[in-house]
């Protein structure tokens, strides 16, 4: 039960820098500039599928957060391109280059999609497999299909509006 990754043209494979890292770094596919107190949506050129029973939590890397750059999101059986929304929470212009890692995807165990019957009588080996499932990232040519597919950002019920200032770059 690894995390599956499909790269689009120009995408950079997510990776963990150290064995004990909780998240996979997601790299910028191009240079960006974020004006003070503005946000920017970046198309990552990466598609990821986390195993059933997990959700991918998108969080800022500590280096980005220390520069007042924030991002968050959730990936749950979404197989479309990961879109990163960065918010510059400072009075300074923020610049980053292709290959910089400002965000990370942390696979979090949720039990979603696992019913009582799938957990019954599985034993310790099953539990170890569940808890270590996301230690491997497997690059594939095409992600497997899911019910959700590539429907994202509000596809399961939009709870707000987006202003015209929210750039799509």
Q: SS in 3 state form for 101-139?
A: EEEEEEEEECCCCCCHHHHCCCHHHHHHHHHHHHHCEEE
Q: What pTM was computed for the model?
A: 0.74
CA–CA–CA angle 97, 103, 104 (5° rounding): 135
Per-residue pLDDT band for 120 (boundaries 50, 70, 90) equals low
DSSP bridge partners of 36:
none
**pLDDT number for residue 21:** 83
For residues 66-95, give the mean pLDDT: 91
Residue pair 129/1 in contact (Cβ under 8 Å)? The answer is: yes
Overall average pLDDT of the 143-167 stretch: 56
What is the pLDDT at residue 147? Answer: 66
Q: How confident is the model at residue 46 (pLDDT cuts 50, 70, 90)?
A: very high
Instruction: Considering only residues 15 and 122, tell me which one the structure prediction assigns the higher pLDDT.
Output: 15
Longest distance between any two alpha carbons in the chain, whole Å: 56
Given this model, what pLDDT does residue 165 score? 45
Backbone angles phi, psi at 150, to 5 degrees: -100, 20
The pLDDT of 140-157, averaged and rounded, is 67
Does CATH number 2.70.40.10 belong to domain 3-142? Answer: yes
Q: Do residues 81 and 41 make contact, with C-beta atoms less than 8 angstroms apart?
A: no
| pLDDT score of 89 more than 60 | yes
Give the mean pLDDT of the chain.
Answer: 80
| pLDDT for 166 beyond 50 | no
**DSSP 3-state assignment of 15?**
strand
More confident residue, 77 or 71: 71
How many angstroms separate the first and last alpha carbons of the chain? 33
Mean pLDDT of the 38-66 span: 90
Q: Rounded to an integer, what distance in angstroms lies between the CA atom of residue 111 and that of residue 109? A: 6
pLDDT value of residue 168: 44
Q: What percent of the chain has pLDDT over 70?
A: 70
Q: How confident is the model at residue 7 (pLDDT cuts 50, 70, 90)?
A: very high
């Amino acid at each position: 039960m690894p995390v599956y990754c499909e790269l689009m043209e120009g995408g950079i494979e997510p990776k963990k820098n150290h064995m004990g890292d909780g998240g996979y770094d997601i790299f910028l596919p191009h240079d960006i500039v974020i004006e003070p107190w503005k946000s920017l949506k970046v198309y990552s050129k990466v598609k990821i599928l986390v195993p059933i029973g997990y959700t991918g939590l998108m969080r800022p890397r500590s280096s980005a957060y220390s520069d007042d750059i924030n991002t968050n999101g959730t990936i749950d059986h979404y197989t479309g391109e990961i879109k990163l929304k960065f918010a510059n929470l400072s009075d300074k212009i923020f610049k980053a280059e292709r290959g910089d890692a400002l965000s990370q995807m942390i696979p979090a165990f949720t039990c979603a999609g696992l019913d009582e019957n799938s957990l019954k009588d599985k034993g310790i080996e099953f539990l170890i497999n569940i808890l270590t499932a996301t230690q491997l990232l497997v690059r594939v040519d095409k992600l497997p299909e899911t019910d959700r597919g590539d429907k994202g950002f509000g596809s399961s019920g939009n709870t707000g509006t987006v202003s015209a200032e929210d750039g799509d770059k």
